Amino acid sequence: MNHPPGEKQCCHNLHDVNRSFQEDYNKLKLQLNAVKNTVSDITAQMDMLEKEIIAITSPMYEEAGQKLATEHQLGDM
């Protein structure tokens, strides 16, 4: 089967464009995975910081609550 002039070149061009899109797609997939991993790391750090903040501040809140309870009891006398 003989191909009309230019058809072969057109197929090569489409193949090149397809390969280019495939390369770009693979790069974007890698970048997306990197972003997902970064978000995951940040979320884990935020969880740890939240626990640390609670551990540091909860004794202060407990102490403040005890003072309020004591003041309330003294006020009832």
Total of domains in the chain = 1
Please indicate, yes or no, if residue 45 is contained in any of the structural domains. yes
Label each residue of the chain as H, E or C: CCCCCCHHHHHHHHHHHHHHHHHHHHHHHHHHHHHHHHHHHHHHHHHHHHHHHHHHHHHHHHHHHHHHHHHHHHHHC
Q: Which residue segment(s) compose the domain that 37 sits in?
A: 31-76
Residue 11 belongs to some domain of the structure: no
pLDDT digits (tens, 9 = 90+) for 28-47: 999 999 999 999 999 999 99
Evaluate whether residue 72 is within a structural domain.
yes
Supply the pLDDT for residue 64: 77
Say if 66 falls within a structural domain: yes
What is the full per-residue pLDDT of the chain (77 aa) written as tens digits?
555 656 677 788 888 899 999 999 999 999 999 999 999 999 999 999 999 999 998 888 788 777 777 777 767 65
Tell me whether residue 71 is in a domain. Answer: yes
Structural domain contains residue 24? no
In a domain? residue 62: yes
